[in-house]
Amino acid sequence: MYIVFLFLLVKTLFLNIYFPSFYISLLSLPFSTHSQYQLHSTVTSMADLSPRTVLVTGSGGRTGQIVYKKLKERPNLYVTRGLVRTEESKQKIGGANDVFVGDIRDAESITPAFQGIDALIILTSAVPQMKPGFDPTKGGRPEFYFDDGAYPEQVDWIGQKNQIEAAKAAGVKHVVLIGSMGGTNTNHPLNSLGNGNILIWKRKAEQYLADSGLTYTIIRPGGLLDKEGGIRELIVGKDDELLQTETKTIPRADVAEVCIQALNFEVKFKAFDLASKPEGVGTPTKDFKALFSNITARF
């Protein structure tokens, strides 16, 4: 059986490369049904092993940079692209030719980055700026603002909507969107920053993706920490339940790893909150398939 199977495989690859018109009829050759199934499965599996082209938008941001770097470190699995808003951001992450410059608020400007990609990881976000003059020694709270044209409605809603539409047009197979916990509460304090209603607009973009017909995964991390990744136990939840616990933060590096692992394991058409236990508590998460098996919510 092994010799027959090996003969089938070699013959298939030869015909597919040099005589592609014969490939379709190959499985009708007089071999057993079992051998035909083995051949088809093996050829399909070999095709699945080819590196997938993944675009990381917002790859100039603090979390986006980590995702972009992690993907680049796995060239046998991924062909990595980045999308940033400025030439300065491109140089900040190395200035490679695989980094595109475009404005997500301008749908036409981002189209080239989407051509030929298999998966998309959306890490773009509006960023509030602190007003100058705040003195923490005097008490009170700092005030924030958004730059003109960079409000959450324009970045987190219109910008992400443009990316989702570009993904549909390009035939992207999987979209991973990074949102935020807190979206179930319209009165969440983050919505008051700069009068931007940032979580409301993020949630609207998440819903748009879920309704788009695209294969999606929505990840809603808690408060982001600039800490080492890979050394904490990760926790998934839904509907902001984790915000009522002590585990409501997570290192950016861990969020980045979860983004990538979501491409590999069955977590399609799922949405989940993500946090981590404090360092030294619990067992560092290494089995992402097991982690994802706890996810049940579609939105």
User: Which residues are part of the catalytic machinery?
Assistant: 180
DSSP string, 243-267: GGSS--EEEHHHHHHHHHHTTTSS-
Number of alpha helices (DSSP H) and beta strands (DSSP E) in the chain: 11, 12
Contacts 24+ apart (CB under 8 A), 68-74: 68/93, 69/93, 70/256, 70/257, 70/260, 71/260, 74/260
236 is written with which tokens? 């998934």
Q: Which of 107, 198, 220 is nearest to 151 (CA)?
A: 198
Q: 195: phi > 0 → left, psi -120 to 50 → alpha, else beta; which?
A: left
Half-sphere exposure at residue 277, Cβ-oriented, CA atoms within 13 angstroms: 11
Contact 63, 274 (CB under 8 A): no
Number of residues that make up the chain:
299
Q: Which of 188, 264, 275 is nearest to 227 (CA)?
A: 275
Q: What angle do CA 272, 164, 170 make, to 5 degrees?
A: 125
Q: How far apart are CA 6 and CA 1, in angstroms?
A: 9
